[in-house]
Structure 1
Amino acid sequence: MGIETEYGITYTDGDIRKLRPDEIARTMFRPLVEKYASSNVFISNGSRLYLDVGSHPEYATAECDSLTQLINYEKAGDVIADSMAKTAEGTLAKEGIDGQVYLFKNNVDSVGNSYGCHENYLVGRSMPLKALGKRLMPFLITRQLISGAGRIHHPNPTAKGETFPLGFCISQRADHVWEGVSSATTRSRPIINTRDEPHADSHSYRRLHVIVGDANMAEPSIALKIGSTQLVLEMIEAEVGLPNLELANDIASIREISRDQTGSTLLILKDGGTITALEVQQIVYQHAVAWLEQRPEPEISGTSNDEMRRVLDLWGRMLEAIETQDFSAVDTEIDWVIKKKLLDRYQVRGNLDLGDPRLAQIDLTYHDIRPGRGLFSVLQSRGLIKRWTTDDAIAHAVEEAPMTTRAHLRGRILQAADKLGAPVTVDWMRHKVNRPEPQTVELGDPFATENAEVDQLIEYMLTHAESYRS
């Protein structure tokens, strides 16, 4: 599993915005470009760090094989990105430009542009992607109920086809997808991207690329988003009898659900029947509960059954909260619930209209990743948002690659290359030492943690260490 996070970016000096996003982003990535001659690099914890289209800093986690491990590496990305932002502030200050870099882990900017938080799941090649998507789609469309990030929707009068009024949405991403399943990513964003890039042995594996999810701040929200999806994928692969809940109109449904926190949005099924969004989640949840009773315990690594019980506990509490509209049992764990509670309190206290700019500022500041500055960070430090993992585990993930996937091997190569100054070219599968003579190792098994060729590659770098210093 892996998560790709694109960050929104801006720079201010008081109330004056001095630099464009592309200028700030280039300053952030300047140390990497100076060191590696590229703004697209893999770093020592096995993850990928790069400057994406639209000047968005992007971080893609190393391959992870368990839920908490993935949360640690996803949150490590925030630490790494914020460290880059602080370095950029120092660089700009030396150039006479004083101010602060703001990185937002959200999905929509002030003028309606959207950027993503993409999920990647390794599935068996034997499962046809079209069939997998058909079974998974009703769950993904309604998943926003349990793991959305929430936002105030401000109508854009210049947007073609804009029909929704001012209001609170439970998902940031729902309005910005246009197809169910497609090979596109930006032109016509789908819920599931079908581009066949397994980044592994293509005879054995395929990569399920989900691009509909919100970027989450709260660790329990990440756990529920990823953990519930993992359980559904396991059930589909195990053929445990999930019912056919295929919807007649995926895109209309996902937009309507986003504006109804009761989950009572009536969805039309392809077979002509109807079902509510909450009922879809309840049906899938009940099957997940039954699946966990027979789910094999991972032998060496992977998400344990105990951890999946934590996921099911939160999932069940969230569904009950939606049904009863009493969110007190989850209002420290689910982003959209946390945010709506915060906005409601400020709105009542200040007698504010929902369109008031002060509420929009609260909405945005929740996603500021700077510790002590972002609202999420302040709330979590005060114990008002629950944890799933620990700061120590996240700090370890900043420095070290996962020990239970091939990212461990990539991390070893990168750390050796960095120490010795060896020129290397790395992607998810291929690892190359460029000189004196090119040496390449390809890692097609995502679960490999030992490899004799990697040992030889590192030994090759050690043997030629002197040449790298000359």
Structure 2
Amino acid sequence: MTSFDPNSVEFQALSVAEQLRIRPLIGLETEYGVHAPANPTANHSVLSMDLVNAYAARMLAEGSAVAGTEWDYGEESPLVDARGWTMPRSAAHPSQLTDEPLGPEQVAAEAIAAERAAGRWEDVPTHQLMNLVLTNGARFYVDHAHPEYSSPETSTYRAAVLYDQAGEIVLRRATEYLAREQGAQIRLYKNNTDNKGVSYGAHENYLVSREVDFDALAAALLPFFTSRQVICGAGRAGVGIGTVEPRFQISQRADFFEEQVGLETTIRRPIVNTRDEPHAWGEKYRRLHVIIGDANLSQYSTWLRVGITDLVLGMISSGWQPSFALLNPVSALQIISHDPTLEATVHCTDRVARTGLQILEYYLQQAQAFWQEQTLPDHRRAEVDEMLQAWQEILTDLSTDIFSTADRLDWVAKYQLIRQVAQRHNVGLDDPKIAMLDLQYTDIDPTRGLYYKLVAAGRMRTLVDAAEIEAAADQPPQDTRAYLRGQAIKHFSHLVAGVSWETLLLRSNTDQRIHRILLSEPFAGSATEAAELFSGNVEDDEFIRRALNFGAGRRKGADR
């Protein structure tokens, strides 16, 4: 196969797993750390709401559009476990109930009430937006005590990086608006812990075939996810949760994981998450919700993270399994993270002790053999080969000289800076200077963030430029349903009554009736397929009619 047409008879004859090896689907979610320097005790839920509302105000003032609307929770199923059961709601932690407005919205509403009762933030409106859907197809909302940006669905590794970076633009625009219009200074950090016992997420989502056995999927992923941090860790000055030991470690998240496999995301965090919430045709697809990763500023780290994970998923979907397992994955996760020399070994079931690098080298060798045998369209072959080469190069460089990768990997770049400052000032890692440096690396303000200063100095490799990222904050990907969602927000936001990843609720101006447009096929709704919806001078009711016909047609196609 040297060309790619998803509507061709040849492509449709492939299994779902084979189709996804040719055309993956990836989305990233980032919860940002938030702080108000002039008001250090400010409620983080209120600050998050301020950011969401500031972004809406800025975009509307500039003549752009957003949809400040309720999230359509009808398609969410956070308590369905991929292993074949559903957790009772009575047994679920409140943070797991993301299928109802009484989750993050209720927490935020209670935060407003508490602030107003205490005599603070008297000017906070009673009703505030909690959720925005953006013209680039992304979601920007309040997730408990954090502003969260969930990127639109993408189908290439580079696009996944681009739209993750666009989230930083969105958050930055919001802080700039607050500073300009209200004089409020809010700092945002792309990190995963406050070093006071709290951790927040940077999640990944990958579409896999429903035919793949989940137990086999989890078993094959455990050694990989445990060792993957060697490439995509964000680095942290400190070991531990509540009491932080003054050492440097590779991953910000490793110390916060307690289980191998499980449904939770905020308590008893598992290395492999079992939430069976596909946000797509459930009979056809499964969404692998990955919660083990760190938030990366480095474009190269993010690119490697999504790329090597997709390549491993492609192998697993064919029935491949590793020849060994870890005796204690949770312990191994932390052992590897706590040793930035990369020399620590973990015990495997074949009685071989391996380093994180050696585990990743094994997965790489298996991936090279597997993907060389795959028949792929030209553009996909180029993407796969480029990722395999980059994977090999980074492992070779880490094995030879860890600091040679400081131009690509977040944890190494941060570690190098910390070592330099500690030596220059003759201080230990428990010195306040080190804690400040650790935090400043993740500041998304380019005038303050140390990562951005490294980029400006030419010391960090980038894959997408500033102009591309700025454009991606407003324009959706062209080849997934994110295009239809984003264009609907851009041109018909006044009709949007609700949104989810696989639905669009439109309210008719004629009779106020709500129409649900199903977009359960993630690749339907691309620029090519959805162009007809927006062509010409389309009136509101005509757009609703076209959207209904589009959704119905794609549903019939899936039912066949």
Q: Which residue does 2:365 correspond to in 1?
A: 286
Provide the rounded CA distance (Å) in 2 between the counterparts of 1:345 and 1:262: 16
Give, in whole Å, the separation in 2 of the partners of 1:230 and 1:292: 11
Letter in 2 for 1:6: E
Task: Classify the secondary structure of the residue corresponding to 2:200.
Answer: coil
2:177 alignment partner in structure 1 = 87
Residue 76 of structure 2 corresponds to: none
Deviation at 1:197, TM superposition (A): 0.6
For 1:267, the equivalent position in structure 2 comes to 346
SS in 1 for 2:245: coil
Selected match of 2:131 from 40, 51, 54: 40
Deviations along 1:97-153, whole A, 9 cap, x unmatched? x5x211000001031210010000000000022210111110110001111110111
Q: Given the alignment of the two structures, is residue 29 of structure 1 paired with residue 52 of structure 2, yes or no?
A: yes
Residue identity opposite 1:444 in structure 2 = S
Per the TM alignment, residue 328 of structure 1 is displaced from its structure 2 partner at its CA by 4.4
Q: Residues 270-323 of structure 1, C-alpha deviation per residue, up to 9 Å, x if partnerless?
A: 355433322211111112222332233346xxx733233333333223222332
Q: In structure 2, what is the equivalent of residue 150 of structure 1?
A: 235
1:394 Cα shift? 1.3
CA distance in 1, matches of 2:129, 2:40: 27
Q: TM-score if structure 1 supplies the norm length?
A: 0.88
Q: Mark the CA change 1:111 to 1:403 in structure 2 (over 3 Å): closer, same or farther.
A: same
> Which blocks of at least 5 consecutive residues in structure 1 are unaligned?
466-470
CA distance in 2, matches of 1:155, 1:462: 57
* Aligned-partner residue type, residue 231 of structure 2: I
Q: How many residues align?
A: 444
1:377 aligns with 2:452: yes
Aligned counterparts of 1:452 and 1:340: Cα–Cα separation in 2: 48
CA distance in 1, matches of 2:275, 2:376: 32
Match of 2:151 in 1: 61
Q: Does 1:304 align with 2:380?
A: yes
Q: Which residue of 1 aligns with 2:93?
A: none
Q: Which residue of 2 is the match for residue 193 of structure 1?
A: 273
The 5 Å alignment of 1:261-410 reads: 261-298=340-377, 304-324=380-400, 326-410=401-485
Alpha-carbon shift at residue 218 of structure 1 (Å): 0.5
| Distance (Å, rounded) in 1 between the aligned partners of 2:309 and 2:380 | 15
Superimposed CA distance per residue, residues 161-184 of structure 1 (whole angstroms, 9 cap, x where no aligned partner): x6x832100000101111121111
The answer (yes or no) to whether the contact 1:135–1:244 under 8 Å persists in 2 is no
Report the Cα distance in structure 1 between the residues aligned to 2:358 and 2:178, rounded to whole angstroms: 48
Q: Structure 1 residues 316, 410: CA separation in 2 closer, same or farther (over 3 Å shift)?
A: same
Q: TM-score, normalising length from structure 2?
A: 0.75
Measure the CA separation in 1 of the matches of 2:208 and 2:271.
Answer: 17
Change (3 A) 1:22 1:440: closer
CA contact (8 A) 1:33 1:39 kept: no
Alpha-carbon distance, 1:412 to partner? 1.8
How far apart in 2 are the matches of 1:224 and 1:109? 25
Distance change in 2, residues 1:21/1:189 (3 Å): same
Mapping of 1:212-251 within 5 angstroms? 212-239=292-319, 241-251=320-330
Q: C-alpha displacement at 1:12, in angstroms?
A: 1.0
In 2, the alpha carbon distance for the partners of 1:455 and 1:30 equals 28
Distance 1:51 1:452, change over 3 A: same
Q: Matches of 2:188 and 2:521 in 1, distance apart? A: 34
Question: Counterpart of 2:264?
Answer: 184
| 1:262–1:322 contact (8 Å) kept in structure 2 | no
User: Any conservation in 2 of the 1:122–1:208 contact (CA below 8 Å)?
Assistant: yes
Contact 1:46 1:407 in 2 (8 A): yes
One-letter identity of the residue aligned with 2:201: G
Contact 1:413 1:454 in 2 (8 A): no
Q: In the alignment, which residue of structure 2 is the partner of 1:429?
A: 502
Aligned residue type for 2:238: H
CA-atom RMSD in angstroms: 2.4
Distance (Å, rounded) in 2 between the aligned partners of 1:310 and 1:213: 22
8 Å contact from structure 1 (residues 257, 265) kept in 2: yes
Looking at structure 1, the residues matched to 479 and 161 of structure 2 have their Cα atoms a distance apart, in angstroms, of 15
Summarize the Cα distance change of 1:453–1:177 in structure 2 as closer, same or farther, 3 Å threshold: farther
| Residue 521 of structure 2 corresponds to residue 445 of structure 1 | yes
Cα deviation code 1:176-220 (max 9, x no counterpart):
111121111112111221111100000100000110000001100
Name stretches of at least 5 consecutive residues in structure 2 with no aligned partner.
Answer: 1-25, 58-67, 70-127, 545-560
Distance 1:27 1:38, change over 3 A: closer
1:170 alignment partner in structure 2: 250
Q: Distance in 1 between matches of 2:506 and 2:285?
A: 27
- Which of residues 11, 15, 19 is equivalent to 2:42? 19
Contact 1:220–1:388, Cα closer than 8 Å, also in 2: yes
Separation of aligned partners in 1, 2:354 and 2:507: 58
1:207 aligns with 2:324: no
Q: Could you tell me which of 325, 331, 335 is aligned with 1:252? A: 331
- Alignment CA distance shift 1:33-1:318 (3 Å): closer
State the shift of 1:371 in Å: 1.6
2:48 aligned counterpart, secondary structure: helix
Report the CA distance shift for 1:57/1:198 in structure 2 as closer, same or farther (over 3 A). same
